[in-house]
Structure 1
Amino acid sequence: MDLIAASAPAAALRGSVTLYLLVNAAHVLGIGLLVGAIATLDLRLLGLFRASALGQLAPPLVRVAATGLGLAAVTGLALFSTRPGTYLENPAFLAKLALLVLALGNLALLHAGRPWREALADGPVGARLRLAAAVSLAAWLGALLAGRWIGFLQ
């Protein structure tokens, strides 16, 4: 952990309020893109927005979510590098990581299955997809809340 905290990017973030602010703002933007797109897609799978075909709605939402995930991951790692030991001792941070693993695992299972491909081709949205959407929504929102909780436990 000392090696991460001693890295040049971590030192730059700790030494510049402006740089830290910009990276933190980019992290929030990434989370907004990610959770906004995923929540919209999950809600569609759960039965809302039925006027919008899933096959048309899903591809751009998945790209927006992937962009948000990439931005949030890169900036999150940068923020983590400033105090890795402190974060690893924070129960909210550990909860956030666990929820991210759950959310990403659920995502991988969802996209690997035939029901997802069939739903994108305007097939039915069955119970398996609705369950995956509910788990997804709960996991991503839980990770968001745990992330906000981190600062209250430091």
Structure 2
Amino acid sequence: MLDAIAASPVAALLRDSAVIYPLVNALHIISIALLLGAIATLDLRLLGLFSRQSAAALAPALIRVAAAGLGGAVVTGALLFSTRPATYLANPAFLTKLALLGLGLINVAILRFNPAWARATDGGPIAPSVRVSALVSLAVWLGAILAGRWIGFLE
């Protein structure tokens, strides 16, 4: 299956183009910046910073920006992965990045199903469980970025 991915016309185009691969790579970085910028801002608010702005006012817009960033990062990341799938799957930093992304998404799911999340985003108090999720979120997403940057150093 990895050979089929690497042999796909899209993967070949990315590998052979001096313009398209760098553009996709730049879009991947921009998407990550949107994702992390929105998540970090919301997490820091949930941890008590930016207290002049209510979590209820910030959360809807920041969640949409983070979702757009995540969507862009997934699409561009899949395109970049297609150029050398076997190499990436043998890279411990890439595998760490995937694991951290999975943990980040699990944390998001746990937070979204926490009744305290709804209260915090409706203008209520921010419960300790929401603050813990925010702290975990910051650590996991920053770790995923660090692991992602480390990929190139372990090739």
Tell me whether the two structures share a fold, i.e. TM-score over 0.5: yes
Amino acid at match of 1:12: L
**Residue of structure 1 in register with 2:60 after alignment:** 59
User: Is 2:106 aligned against 1:111?
Assistant: no
Please give the TM-score of this superposition, normalised by the length of structure 1. 0.99
1:25 Cα deviation from its structure 2 partner? 0.3
Look up the match of 1:124: 125
Q: Runs in 1 of length 4+ with deviation above 3 angstroms?
A: none
Q: Distance in 1 between matches of 2:26 and 2:112?
A: 30
Identity of aligned residues (%): 62
- Output one character per residue of 1:70-121: Cα deviation in whole Å (capped at 9) or x when no partner: 0000000000000000000000000000000000000011011211000011
Matches within 5 A, 1:26-45: 26-45=27-46
SS at 1:17's partner residue? coil
Q: Secondary structure at the match of 1:49?
A: coil
Aligned residues: 154
Which amino acid in the other structure matches residue 56 of structure 1?
A
| Structure 1 CA distance for aligned equivalents of residues 125 and 73 of structure 2 | 32
Distance in structure 1 (CA, Å) of the matches to 2:113 and 2:6: 37
Q: Which runs of 5+ in 2 are unaligned?
A: none
- Residue 143 (structure 1) aligns with: 144
Which whole-Å CA distance do the structure 2 matches of 1:11 and 1:63 have between them? 33
Secondary structure of the structure 1 residue equivalent to 2:15:
helix
Structure 2 length as normaliser, TM-score?
0.98
Structure 1 gap segments, 5+ residues each: none
1:6 and 2:17 matched? no
Counterparts of 2:125 and 2:57 in 1: how far apart (Å)? 15
Q: C-alpha displacement at 1:150, in angstroms?
A: 0.2
CA root-mean-square deviation: 0.5
Letter in 2 for 1:124: P
